[in-house]
Structure formats: structure tokens, C-alpha cells
Structure 1
């Protein structure tokens, strides 16, 4: 009996290398297999289909980001630190950032949902945010997510090159605007009934 030569981890590593280089536009079983130098058979032995591989890859990358990137402390304010780390990730890994957060064929909604959950769990650990309602947490997420994604994208394309202090000031202004408002329902994703 032959033993497995290519494990789930081998396939995820090859898939990661492929999207890091080309994004999700060429994310096919054939291209992942070519990255590994094998046929597509090992992929379909380990994963139900390409969507299963894609979702497993997105979750693996996000888990890696939360432990190695998004948890780095800069200021002591978890909300600001997450924002800085998100921008730093974009600057240090622009293709992967675009594939995971901006590419319509990429991480999209899954990355949004995972990012929101991580954001919520992280900021609730901090004293000044621990008693916020779900509406304010969501408002804070959108109030920082939108500007930092814009900043990260503009910085990648070299349109703007703000200093770290300017980035922190923008984040603080966004946070303060949300906290000072009486806005309780920031559900950008709920369908209107």
C-alpha cells in the first residue's frame, strides 16, 4: 500500500504560494498541482473540491495573520494596533493583501467575517471598549475598516505616503467619531426589509 506523499499541508503551501504570486485569478486545481509538480489527484484526495481548498486556504492564512501580524503591539490600544498591523500587512505583502481582501474572486466575505470576529474579540479585551454594544462594535469596525483599507490601498499604489503618526491620527479620528455618535445600528451588510 502506498502512503500519502502530499499532505493537506503540502497542498495548502502550494496554493498559498500560487495566490501570493498571482492572486485568485489563476486559482485552479491544475495550477496548484503545477506549483507542486504533480497531477491534480492529490488535491482531490485531500479536498472535496476547489472551493473547499480555497476556504481552507483563506482560514489558514487568516489564522496565520492573527497570530503573526494582527496581534503585534505598537501603541497599547488594541483597536489602533489592529489597524496599524492591517496597513503594515498590506505594505509588506501587497499581492497577498489584494488577493485576500480586494480581489472579487479572493477572500472577500470570508475575510470580512473573520476580520470582524477577530476585531470584536480583541477590542472587548480592552477596558475602554469592553462595555460597548454590538451596534457600536460594528460601527467601530466599519469606522476603522473603511479608512484603513483606503489608506492601505493608496499606500500600495504610492499615491500617498503618510507617516505612522498621520496614520494613527486618522484612526483615532475615526474611532472618536464613532464613539461620540449616538449611532447604534451600523449594519452595512443587512438587507433592507
Structure 2
């Protein structure tokens, strides 16, 4: 009979998330995780096969945390802009978790559709809001979301890396101005076709 695990999967995952939150994904090792649990590394591997499995579980838990953070936006008006605010505030409050979720590439370029699929439930909620509150069809909502998300991602990444610091008022103004400008463009048909920049054409 295998030994009874000293820690549950949830306890180990929560400890891994704490290590990453404090010091980043590179700080998560069997040794640091064992120290966080107040134990040796051995009990970890009665539950997980490898540290990579632990990292993936921690990433899933981080996404759940981000989704809970983003869901607060539905209680604000306008909700879509607040989703952007929540993303940037998450980057400010949990920079290492933001980096884990949104700044860990796999070495190959991805289409925006692939990126969108990895954004979790909040992205789908945003599309619904854009269609319902602004009278956009799905293609228009996606075009608007694409542009505003890229803009928001840039601000959030500047915050998560410590390169820039913005006040909530500044973030609110930046997102509001960009959103209104792009909403006018999409309603006029100017943002529906995603034409590549000349420098990006093959």
C-alpha cells in the first residue's frame, strides 16, 4: 500500500502559488516548495509526478485567481472598461502571477485566436458585454476586443515588470480614451478588417 500523502494536492498547489507570487516562477523548485510546506521535498512527489506538473497546476490556480479578480468588473459600469482596469490592477497587485499567466511564451508565435482561447472565461464575458451593451455583431466585438486587449496588455505588462507605474485615475483615462476612439472606428467599419501592417507582410 502506498504511503498516505502528507499534504493534499490543493495544499501543495496553494504553497506553490505563494512561492511564485512572492518570487516568480523561476523560484519554484522542489526545495523551495518543501520549505514553504515546512517539510522536505519528498511529500510533494507522493502527489505529483514532476515539478512541471506542479507548475501547471499552479498556473491553473493562478488563472482561477485572475478570473475571480476580473469577475468584479460585472458590477461596474461600463463593465468592459472595468475588465481592462481589473487586468491592470491584477498586474500591479500580483506581478509574478500576471507574468506566469500572460508573459510565459512557448517559443513560437501565436495567432490572436490562440491567445484569446487562453484568456479564460473573462474574455467570453467581454464579448457578450460588447455585443449586448454597444449593439455590435460578433465580428465587430472581436475586432474591438482585439485592439483594446492589446493596448491593455501593453499597460499591464509595463506595470507587471515595474517599468512604469500609473495611478488608477491615469489607467481609467487611458483605457477610456482608447476604447471610445476604437468604438467609433468599429461602428464606422474602420476596424473590422484586420489588415497587416506593411512591415509585417511577407
Q: Which interval holds the TM-score relative to the shorter structure?
A: 0.7 to 0.9
The equivalences for 1:1-193 within 5 A come to: 3-67=4-68, 69-73=69-73, 75-104=76-105, 113-115=117-119, 117-124=121-128, 127-128=132-133, 132-133=137-138, 135-155=139-159, 156-158=162-164, 161=167, 162-180=170-188, 181=190, 183=192
CA gap 1:175/1:43 in 2 versus in 1, 3 angstroms? farther
Unaligned runs of 5+ in 2: 197-202
- Within 1, Cα distance between the matches of 2:7 and 2:195? 45
Change (3 A) 1:82 1:159: closer
Structure 1 position 130, deviation (Å): 7.7
- Structure 1 spans left out of the alignment, 5+ residues: 188-193
Question: Separation in 2 of the partners of 1:179 and 1:7?
Answer: 52
* Bigger Rg, structure 1 or 2: 2
- Measured at CA, do residues 28 and 178 of structure 1 come closer, stay the same or move farther in structure 2, by a change above 3 Å? farther
Please give the alpha-carbon distance, in whole angstroms, between the structure 1 residues aligned to 2:52 and 2:141.
Answer: 31
Deviation at 1:160, TM superposition (A): 5.1
What does the per-residue CA deviation read over 1:98-146, in whole Å, with 9 as the maximum and x for residues that have no partner? Answer: 33322448xxx8986331553124431561468633x444433321221
Separation in 1 of the partners of 2:183 and 2:33? 41
Task: Evaluate the alpha carbon distance shift between residue 130 and residue 24 of structure 1 in structure 2; reply closer, same or farther with a 3 A threshold.
Answer: farther
CA distance in 2: counterparts of 1:13 and 1:63, whole angstroms? 12
| Cα distance in structure 2, aligned partners of 1:176 and 1:25 | 43
Per-residue deviation, residues 27-57 of structure 1 (Å, max 9, x unmatched): 2223222221222232222223223222221
Aligned Cα RMSD in Å? 3.3
CA positional deviation for 1:58 = 1.3
Relative to structure 1, the CA distance from residue 175 to residue 76 in structure 2 (aligned partners, 3 Å threshold; closer, same or farther) is: same
Flag the 1:113–1:29 CA change in 2: closer, same or farther, 3 A.
Answer: farther
The 1:163/1:83 distance shift into structure 2, 3 A limit, reads closer
Mapped contact 2:63–2:101 kept (Cα < 8 A): no
SS in structure 2 at match of 1:154? helix
How much does 1:11 deviate?
0.5
